[in-house]
Amino acid sequence: MDTIDLEIGGFHHQVSLHRAMGNRANKTIVYYHGGGFIFGSKDDLPIYAIKKLTNAGYDLICMEYPKAPELSLSQICDFVEHQLIWYLNNHEKMSISDDYILFGRSAGGFLALFLTKRMAMLQQKKPVKLIIFYGYEYLNVSEFILPSEHYATYPHLSWDDVKSSIEKQPVLNTSLLKRYLLYIYARQTGNWLKLLGIHNSKLDTDIYVEGIEFPDTFLAASFYDKDVSYQNSLEIKKKYGNSVLYTSWSNKHEFDQIESDETEQLYQTILEWI
C-alpha cells in the first residue's frame, strides 16, 4: 500500500493507494467509507475485499474526508468534490488511470452518488460505473429525522455522555468507540441531521438527478438492515442508470465486513458485472 499526502482546502491528510496485482485492468476504483459522516476511516474496507479487487487488476484508492459535526455535511461534500478533481488532475503522477469506478459504503454511497452528479454538472470526467453498498440518496426522510427504533434498543445516551468526543478543530481520523457513541446518540434522539449542520427541510445536499445520465450501478444491501433501510437501495435501483441489486438476507448493516461464502459470491458477482 502507498500512502499519499495531499492538501484540500487547507486540510493536510492522506489517502491509501492499493495497486493492482498484475493483469492490470487500467481502471481505478475510488472508495469512500461509511460512518454516518461522523466516524469512520479510509482503511475500513476489509482486507479480503482489497485483495479481490487488486488481484483482479484494479488499482484502489481509498479516500479520507473530514467528519461532522466539526464540519457540516455541505462542507464535507465540497471537500470530497475538490478531492476527486485532485485525483483526476494527478492520476498520472500516481501511475493510475483516470477511468474510474466510484465505490461507496453507506454514507460513502451517498458521497459517490453526490460526486457523480457534481462531476456531470461541472463537466468533469464522470465515473464509468458505480458500486453502492447500503447507500442512500435522500436525508430529508422520516427514517433519518425521527428517533430510530433500532438504536432505541441500545443503552440510552445523553448529550453529556458524548459531547467530549467533539473536537475544536475539524478531524479526519476519529476514535471509533467515542465517535460511534456520538452516532448512536444522534440516531436515538433524531438529532443526526442537526449534527450534520442541516436545520431546515430544504436540503441542498439531497441528490436530485433530473437531466443527468448516471453510469451503470451495482447496488448491494441487506433486506433486514436496521440502520439504513433496504428501501433506499430499491429507490436508487429505480432511478440510476442500468442498475442491479444484490440482496443479502443478513440482519447486519455492514454484512460484507467479514469474509464468508456470501461475500465471496458478492465480490465474484461484482467482478463479473464490471
Per-residue pLDDT of the chain (274 residues; tens, 9 = 90+): 899 998 888 888 899 999 998 788 899 999 999 999 999 999 999 999 999 999 999 999 999 999 999 999 999 999 999 999 999 999 999 999 999 999 999 999 999 999 999 999 899 999 999 999 999 988 888 899 999 999 999 999 999 999 999 999 888 876 677 899 999 999 999 999 999 998 765 555 565 555 568 899 999 999 999 999 999 999 999 887 689 999 999 999 999 999 999 999 999 999 999 9
Structural domain contains residue 152:
no
Rg of the chain, C-alpha, whole Å: 18
Please return the burial class of 6, using the count of CB atoms within 10 Å of its CB with bins 0-12, 13-18 and 19+: middle
- CATH of residue 9's domain is 3.40.50.1820
Structural domain contains residue 162:
no
Structural domain contains residue 155:
no
Structural domain contains residue 52:
yes
The CA-CA-CA angle for residues 8, 13, 18, to 5°, reads: 110
Structural domain contains residue 54:
yes
Structural domain contains residue 154:
no
Q: Which has the closest alpha carbon to 30: 92, 115, 106, 107?
A: 115
Beta bridge partners of 59: 28
241: domain range?
2-145+201-273
Structural domain contains residue 183:
no
| Number of domain units in the chain | 1
Structural domain contains residue 178:
no
DSSP assignment of the chain equals -EEEEEEETTEEEEEEEEPP-SS--S-EEEEE--STTTS--TT-S-HHHHHHHHHTT-EEEEEP---TTTS-HHHHHHHHHHHHHHHHHHTTTTT--S-EEEEEETHHHHHHHHHHHHHHHTTPPPPSEEEEES--S--SSHHHHSPPHHHHTSPP--HHHHGGG--SS--SS--HHHHHHHHHHHHHHT-HHHHTT--SS--TTS---TT-PPPEEEEEEETT-SSS-HHHHHHHHHHSSSEEEEEE--S-TTTTSS--HHHHHHHHHHHHH-
